[in-house]
Amino acid sequence: MTAYTPKQIEPKWQSYWEEHHSHEVNDHSKRPKYYCLDMFPYPSGSGLHVGHWRGYVLSDAWSRYKKLQGYEVLHPMGWDAFGLPAENDAIKKGIHPSIGTARNIANFKKQLQQMGAMFDWSREINTSSPEYYQFTQWIFVQLFKMGLAYRKEMPINWCPSCKTGLANEEVVDGGCERCGSPVTKKNMNQWMLRITNYADRLLDDLDKLQWPDKVKKMQANWIGKSVGAHVRFSLVGADEEIEVFTTRPDTLYGATYMVLAPEHPLVAKITTADARDAVNDYVSQTLHKSALARQIVDKTKTGVFTGAYAINPATKKPIPVWIADYVLLDYGTGAIMAVPAHDERDFDFAKAFSLPIVQVIRPNSHVQGELQNLHEAYIGEGVLMNSGALDGLTIQEAKKAVIAFLEERKKGSGATTYKLRDWVFARQRYWGEPIPVVHCEHCGIVPVPEDELPVLLPDVERYEPTGTGESPLAAIESFVHTTCPTCGGPARRETDTMPQWAGSCWYFLRFADPRNDKEPFAKDKVNHWLPVDMYIGGVEHAVLHLLYARFFTKALYDRGVIGFDEPFIHLFNQGMMTLDGAKMSKSKGNVVSPEELIEKYGTDTLRIYELFVGPPEIDAEWNPRAIDGVHRFLSRTYRLVEENVQHAPHTGTLLRNKLRHRFLQQVTERLESFRFNTVVSAFMEFTGAMADYSDPIDRETLETLTLCLAPFAPHLAEECWQLLGHNDSVFMALWPTVDPTMLVDDEIEIVLQVNGKIRDRMVINVSSTQEEVIAVALSRDSLSPFLAGRTIQKQVYVQGKLVNFVIR
């Protein structure tokens, strides 16, 4: 008898796979394609921990299962290698970010290879290599030509610590997503992507995706579609109009005042002389408040009257125009009509400043009249009142009527707005893709011709962000000074770089054809492999990466570059691995590294333990001891094959065949529904049950066990497969099929209940009828103490499960 020695088995099979190019995928295979993708990592300096492993093990087990099912499986890996840590390291140590990045990649790769995953390393990509980013730049040029990339001067989110502009999606609780510093506003002229053009499609196409509902909802909320109307209010004694957006045009008669955002351009024009000092004070106060203070911490209403009046187009009455910081400049039109009776915020404001409150919606339960002592806004269903000709209409009817009224008078129209903003796409940092355009005095903004790409990221002396709103590239004369591709005259290069998300917006496409140096990918290859069938990664990318990647995919589809408009069919979010209840991170000092575990137990044990800790989508606490049980299980399994293989009959007894098919059925079913933790339980039960019978264990049982184990413990499975006399890799074989006739038993045990309490059990023949079962049950001595002298009111029989006698 030889013991289970992963230290010998695992390197042996890893070399075998490498020598036989087992994991290299074939573009022209006759097998159906399957694309299983991990969210590729940023190669940080701290390396991988057991939390990172979780998703990778999951996707590898799934990929290997799909391979055994007969698919040609693309399961690639690469590096999201542009990003701030490498740059910060460069600032600190003065070494080029590419050097640290290369070192980290080497380390990550070594660690991932230890996992024994079936990554096709011949397709490895690195977003910071010119071979890759030339095409990130190419895509930018396409977006520019489609009118989706544009420059705009506007106040954007600015991180004073990272010294760069940020996208809306990168601001979390008023702080920088990366470093947590409070974000301020900075007026900047920079690049934007018109993601809002795609708002409706990004929202509607969520229906096509088999993603967790949670992620779909998060994206839908982020897009934030609201349907309503634009309404223009005339000003008393002035030519300008104030345009507002409202979702409640039906409440127009109840609009008793208006509010502009303090930064609204009309504020300076309409403010009367009397109000000017107070307004100026308030505006400057607002500008100094951080986003955090304004939106999150303090919601008490403040504001000042501008002295101006507007005319309510419905009532024709003048209403005062205020400014207040509860109205945001960058949503809707930056101005509102306030209907205090039917909006909580307006109600609070009206109370605070004693503004009139006019009820225009009556709850259906109130036949007539106003609600007495309105002490909160009424936002429920109802019918119109105090609204002239609209009185008695439902809210829905009134919305239509008011929009028609406004359109007729040219005072407004139906309108839809979104919370989604255009994407601030420029970063004033070094370690990213240079935005491939030049600024020419004569021709304006000119994209770099496609055949001149890449615009190489030049070496610089100093990597520090300048903080002036310019990237470090601006200091390199030789980079900045160039000639205009159109007129040949002197021109300046764009010095901003792309955000970290740029490379990951299309890397899943590049894996289809990663060595193509002429184009991002050949059309036939990308249309063959894509879309991704299964995408596995953390939920932290629910809006950022996943929304951006969908946007790029749709834009490239519109450009005719690819033939599909959604990149990821299935999405699975694995849970975090925690230690002491906290997410593992180097800064918290609670990381568990896979190295020593592999040293002690072997890779296969760690792989299975990662799956066994709990449901894959739920966070799991690392338990350093529980891994022993998994290791014991693998040792037992190895021993089972090793001890029995010599004397195993080809086929087993009926009992063993039934056991085997039931096991196979369980594993397949649980695997299909991603219940990996219970798959492992099924293995443990099966190997345990095998010892319960004295007849010899047969080859079919041992082969099924080995095949089923292969996705999870591939090294051990290969070894067992070889012990079973096969010369090929186990992954050349096919997943066994369940014989349904083996799943049914002739006899089954059912439970006997009296008044829902279990009193006995008995074995019946499967073909027994209800009458037969009940008759037998009634004749049982065990039930007579409970039934004697009682009237049976009801008999419940659940086929093959139980009998319940209901007595009085």
Partner RNA sequence: GCCGUGGUGGCGGAAUUGGCAGACGCAGCGGACUUAAAAUCCGCUGGUCAGAGAUGACCGUACGGGUUCAAGUCCCGUCCUCGGCACCA
Count of CA atoms in the C-beta half-sphere (13 A) of 246: 29
Closer residue to RNA, CB minimum distance, 549 or 555: 549
The two tokens of residue 227 are 């349907």
| Distance, CA of 36 to CA of 295 (rounded, Å) | 41
Q: Shortest Cβ distance from residue 528 to RNA (Å)?
A: 33
Q: Shortest Cβ distance from residue 504 to RNA (Å)?
A: 18
Contact status, residue 551 vs residue 195, Cβ threshold 8 Å:
yes
Q: Shortest Cβ distance from residue 364 to RNA (Å)?
A: 19
Closer residue to RNA, CB minimum distance, 476 or 762: 762
DSSP 394: B
Between strands 802-807 and 747-754, the pairing is parallel
Phi, then psi, of 707 in degrees rounded to 5: -60, -45
The two tokens of residue 60 are 């590898």
Q: What is the C-alpha end-to-end distance of the chain, expressed in Å?
A: 64
Between strands 257-260 and 318-323, the pairing is parallel
Q: Shortest Cβ distance from residue 292 to RNA (Å)?
A: 10
Q: Shortest Cβ distance from residue 677 to RNA (Å)?
A: 5
* SS3 state of residue 195: helix
Phi, then psi, of 141 in degrees rounded to 5: -65, -40
Closer residue to RNA, CB minimum distance, 292 or 311: 292
Q: Shortest Cβ distance from residue 130 to RNA (Å)?
A: 34
Contact status, residue 405 vs residue 210, Cβ threshold 8 Å:
no
Closer residue to RNA, CB minimum distance, 116 or 175: 175
Closer residue to RNA, CB minimum distance, 324 or 502: 324
Closer residue to RNA, CB minimum distance, 183 or 556: 183
Closer residue to RNA, CB minimum distance, 651 or 782: 782
Closer residue to RNA, CB minimum distance, 311 or 328: 328
The two tokens of residue 19 are 């020598």
DSSP 123: G
Q: Shortest Cβ distance from residue 324 to RNA (Å)?
A: 8
Q: Shortest Cβ distance from residue 673 to RNA (Å)?
A: 6
| Distance, CA of 570 to CA of 210 (rounded, Å) | 5
Q: Shortest Cβ distance from residue 759 to RNA (Å)?
A: 7
Q: Shortest Cβ distance from residue 351 to RNA (Å)?
A: 13
Closer residue to RNA, CB minimum distance, 157 or 553: 157
Closer residue to RNA, CB minimum distance, 95 or 796: 796
Residue in 320, 358, 317, 364 with CA at minimum distance from that of residue 341: 358
Q: Shortest Cβ distance from residue 667 to RNA (Å)?
A: 10
Q: How many of the other CB atoms lie within 10 Å of CB of 378?
A: 19
Closer residue to RNA, CB minimum distance, 194 or 345: 345
Q: Shortest Cβ distance from residue 303 to RNA (Å)?
A: 9
Asked if the bond preceding 490 is cis, omega within 30° of 0, the reply is no
| Distance, CA of 429 to CA of 83 (rounded, Å) | 9
Contact status, residue 349 vs residue 324, Cβ threshold 8 Å:
yes
DSSP 328: -
Q: How far is CA 114 from the centre of its chain?
A: 27
Q: Shortest Cβ distance from residue 82 to RNA (Å)?
A: 23
Burial class (CB in 10 A: 0-12, 13-18, 19+), 728: exposed
Q: Shortest Cβ distance from residue 156 to RNA (Å)?
A: 15
Closer residue to RNA, CB minimum distance, 248 or 554: 248
Q: How many of the other CB atoms lie within 10 Å of CB of 392?
A: 12
| Distance, CA of 528 to CA of 523 (rounded, Å) | 8
Q: Shortest Cβ distance from residue 776 to RNA (Å)?
A: 17
Q: How many of the other CB atoms lie within 10 Å of CB of 442?
A: 12
| Distance, CA of 561 to CA of 530 (rounded, Å) | 13
| Distance, CA of 535 to CA of 381 (rounded, Å) | 42
Q: Which residues contact 652 (CB under 8 A, 6 or more apart)?
A: 660, 695, 696, 697, 698, 700, 701
Closer residue to RNA, CB minimum distance, 20 or 217: 217
Closer residue to RNA, CB minimum distance, 151 or 670: 670
Closer residue to RNA, CB minimum distance, 213 or 477: 213
Helix axes 627-644, 594-601, angle to 10 degrees: 30
Phi, then psi, of 776 in degrees rounded to 5: -60, -45
Q: How many of the other CB atoms lie within 10 Å of CB of 247?
A: 16
Strands (DSSP E) along 312-411, which ranges? 318-323, 335-338, 361-362, 383-384
